[in-house]
Amino acid sequence: MRLIRVMCSGRIDPAFVLRAFSQGADGVFIGACHLGECNYITHGNYHTLNMVLLLRLILEHLGLDPERLRMSFMSGAEANLFVENVNDFVKKIKLLGPVGAGEGIGPQELKRKLETATELVPYIRLVERERLRAPMMSEEAYYAYFAGQEMKRLFQETIVEKLAIGQIIALLRAGPLTTAEIARSVGLTPSEVSKHLSTSSRHRLVRYDQEQKRYALA
Q: What is the mean pLDDT of residues 203-216?
A: 95
In a domain, 131, yes or no: yes
Q: What is the mean pLDDT of residues 98-124?
A: 95
Are residues 69 and 55 in contact, defined by beta-carbon separation less than 8 angstroms?
Answer: yes
Judged on CB neighbours under 10 Å (0-12, 13-18, 19+), 48 is buried
In a domain, 32, yes or no: yes
Which percentage of the chain shows pLDDT scores above 90? Answer: 84
pLDDT greater than 90 at residue 11:
no
In a domain, 201, yes or no: no
Number of separate domains in the chain: 1
In a domain, 206, yes or no: no
pLDDT of residue 75: 86
Which percentage of the chain shows pLDDT scores above 70? Answer: 96
* Residues forming beta bridges with residue 154, ordered by sequence position: none
Please list, in sequence order, all residues whose beta carbon lies within 8 angstroms of the beta carbon of residue 99, skipping any fewer than 6 positions away. Answer: 21, 24, 25, 26, 27, 64, 68, 110
pLDDT of residue 5: 56
In a domain, 170, yes or no: no
Range of the domain at 122: 9-148
- At 25, the pLDDT band (50, 70, 90 cuts) reads very high
- At 174, the pLDDT band (50, 70, 90 cuts) reads very high
pLDDT of residue 192: 95
In a domain, 103, yes or no: yes
- At 7, the pLDDT band (50, 70, 90 cuts) reads low
In a domain, 197, yes or no: no
List, for residues 39-92, the tens digit of each pLDDT value: 776 788 999 999 999 999 999 999 999 999 999 999 888 999 999 999 999 999
In a domain, 163, yes or no: no
